[in-house]
Structure 1
Amino acid sequence: MKTTNGTTVQTAAVPKLIVSRKGRKLKDRLWRERYLFLLLMPGLLYFIIYRYVPMLGNIIAFQDYSPFRGFLNSDWVGLKHFKTIFSDQEVIRVLWNTLLLSLLQIAFAFPVPIILAIMLNEIKNELFKRIVQSIIYLPHFLSWVVVIGIVTIFLKTEGMVNRVLDPLFGMEPISFLQQPGWFMPLIILEVIWKEAGWGTIIFLATLSGINPALYEAAVVDGANRWRQIWHITLPALRSTIIILFILRLGTVLDSGFEQVFLMLNPFTMDVGNVLDTFVYFKGIQKADFSFGTAVGLFKSVIGLILILVANRVAKKFGDEGVF
């Protein structure tokens, strides 16, 4: 209570009034947009149940976890399993395989959708353009099981490729699937064939927003098609390329479990075993759940650090970045 010139004001009620108004506004908004929140609910529940709740299980990375003793009764070992990651020669070899494969994918597979989008953007015949788009999009909808099955049929010792090479060049059959030197090139080619067409969608969407007047002005200034691509098309794609590159760095330790697992065999295990498959063999098949979880958590932390660093570097050079 406060008295000013004989007037009594109840100041304590003001915050309550503000809170009640905010609460009422929130309730009104929730009710007004209830159908939008209902549409949001399935996706939100999916992420909560299958993405965030399982993160609580990362606690076993700091334990010698036993399924029979549970999370609460398993022995705590601190950073023991993380130290093993850097001391185990097998883990170091697997980490090197993962980094090499990811870097090769970034170097060779990442630019292909950009090149395809630019080439498609230059096609003036809309019917032909749509046909080409449909053809290069289709492999994305095939599962990796089907893709690896097709590759196996073509590249096995008695497959179609060797049958063509023998009469044309007199070459001995090549064991593409058993030779370690062919493992990573085949992985890269499979990724390009399956995903490059789908990846062009984002870049084509960006290119569709370019003002045609820019190209008309460039033609008036005497710029040929290469100059137009260099000075108009590529700068328009710059922000999209940087954002996708930053997101790709966040998954640099993810090499695609299903694809690599299906391509692995005893002959290619030394060069093809990556972190994803190593966690499966070690954590699932050998029931070393704590170590497998430690490797997975290590991957996530490294990915987060790379995204933060790349995002900051992008902002330093004047781009918006991801956040």
Structure 2
Amino acid sequence: MISLVRRITAACALSAALTALAACGSTTTQAPHAGHPAPTKSEHAPAKPSATAPTKPPTLTPGPGGLTPVFTNGPRTGGKTVALTFDADMTADEGPRAKAGEHFDNPGLIAALRSLKVPATVFMTGKWAETYPDEARAIGSDPQFELANHTYSHYAFTDDCYGLPTISEDGIRADVERAYTAFQKAGVRHVMPYLRFPGGCYDSDVLRTLGPLGVTAVQWDVVSGDAFATDADAVARQVLDGVKPGSVVVMHCTRSAAPTTEHVVRTVVPQLRAKGYRFVKVSELIGATSGHA
């Protein structure tokens, strides 16, 4: 690590232009972290590279034969942490419904999370990103959130998955990769190496098929029940009763299919905080689990 920093510093010192200095001091395509010093305007005082090298997002070790690892919850003994996750669901055939005025987004929910200062992880379908590119880009560029893959079509990977259309085994990997393409076209630059299965349905064949992608599949241990719910208080009670240290809560970011979610969030957040819980992104829980915290 020390030799790497020296090489970067030496290369930067050889550059005469300020813009070249800035480019040389960056070792990744990620945006600089808040708090890093700005480059000096003096040619005789080149900017020093950060002593802390950026790290890759934490993932779990693949299973036997390279099977995609599956994450359900974080450590139960690592303090009162909880991750709220939101599925931005939209299937590939729902475009006409969106054009007709049905709302698959939920700006009020995102605004509530921002005002409450709750970090969260959003699992987004590629079709959702295509339909709401400005919102996808805003979520993906906001450091309060992290964005992850929920496939392109939201078609199930297994049979009998909550009535979802089923995609063939040969098309599974392509559907996941197509979502990444949709994120890129929408201007989303930072996508976490996490995947949520449509409906949460998978089997060993699916894990084997997706193994080469190097992602960690993220499930949950608390079902909010917000999908198609009309009683926000009942959903809130279900969340409050289910949360334990390290829990991952699944909710939805679609007004048409989950109209109570914003109210649920505004209800459960202060109550969980009163119980001593701290809200984190999924990546923090995975890091604590894999030893990268």
Q: TM-score, normalised by structure 2?
A: 0.26
**Greater fraction strand:** 2
Q: Answer with 1 or 2: which has the greater Rg.
A: 1
Q: TM-score, normalised by structure 1?
A: 0.25
Report 1 or 2 for greater relative contact order, CA contacts < 8 Å, sequence distance ≥ 6. 2
